A = this chain, B = another copy of it.
């Protein structure tokens, strides 16, 4: 069985978990305390971050997009990067948007401040960082609304890796109760569609030790 090294509130780890689930692949999950920089883990991934996937063929894979593209190529039944080269380029553009830009502008300042600092015993979240992150979040939520006012899913008419990347980020903020859904009805309708997918259910069952999720977190009809 494949083995995924992950962290519970890592959006990148959640994206890979969702892709595995979309492909019908069961995997063992192991929490990796990346901040300890364990030599055994750095030998698997010198970048030192999660997710890392060890598959049944003996491959050790890291970098979220590299893992997701690999899984999509190995299990092509329901493609998550479908369509033409131009359509795939749009999926990849939006994956970069949510995995990199959203991470840098929002998640780093909010989820990581609130959660990672706690595990790393680095003290309280920095209020300036939180303010910046929540300010930036409004632009990203508006962008999701802009996209799904024009398309059924983020990259077009079919569900793709772009939806998984965005929902993985959103789900972490939503766990912490940090999204004012009443301000973003279109994004809310899109996220409800994602939450209804069987592949997304396991994430909605996550309960992280000592950190209770928002009341509506697990509910597809929120």
Contact = CB atoms under 8 A, between A and B. Distances in A.
Number of this chain's copies in the assembly equals: 2
A124 interface: no
A162 B86 CA distance: 22
Nearest to A70: B89
A101 B67 CA distance: 17
A88 interface: yes
A140 to B, nearest CB: 11
A66 B46 contact: no
A70 B57 contact: no
Interface stretch (A91-99, A166-174, A181-189): A91-99
Interface in A25-81: 46-47, 57, 59, 61-63, 65-67, 69-70, 73-74
A100 interface: yes
Contacts of A93: 61-63, 66
Contacts of A97: 47, 63
A interface, how many residues as a size bin?
20 to 34
A119 interface: no
A198 interface: no
A143 interface: yes
Contact of A67 (B46, B59, B89): B89
15 contacts: A46-B143, A63-B96, A65-B65, A65-B92, A65-B96, A66-B88, A66-B93, A66-B96, A67-B89, A69-B88, A69-B92, A70-B88, A73-B85, A73-B88, A74-B85
